[in-house]
Amino acid sequence: MALTQLYGFHRATAPMTANLLRDASISPAVAEAIAMMPAAFAAIVELLLVGWLVDPDRMHLVRAALAHSVSFQTWRSLCVTNGLDEEDAVELVIGMVSAATHE
């Protein structure tokens, strides 16, 4: 599953990613080095959207839920701060995305 793999990537790169995100606000060189990250995560969201049958009126909610789900900060909050294992974190965010598809 894509989110399981992405969360594994977040785990493997957590110290570096946390430092880069921290330092981007004070270092133009770091900010430039990670400038492509938002576009890369937006592309991941677009790929994940393919798997959901969504009423067009709710697409913005599903897109927002997916964008939240793939972010490093969400992974860190769920798995590091709140101590969830990645399987439970993925189950939780899939539930959130699924809820966004229904009225």
Q: Secondary structure of the chain in the HEC alphabet?
A: CHHHHHHHHHHHHHHHHHHHHHHCCCCHHHHHHCCCHHHHHHHHHHHHHCCCCCCHHHHHHHHHHHHHHHCHHHHHHHHHHCCCCHHHHHHHHHHHHHHHCCC
Q: Which two tokens stand for residue 48?
A: 């994940």
Domain assignments of the chain as residue spans, ordered by start:
2-100
Distance, C-alpha 23 to centroid of its chain: 20
Q: What is the pLDDT of residues 18-43, one digit of tens each?
A: 999 999 999 999 999 999 999 999 99
Q: What is the pLDDT of residues 66-99, one digit of tens each?
A: 999 999 999 999 999 999 999 999 999 999 999 9
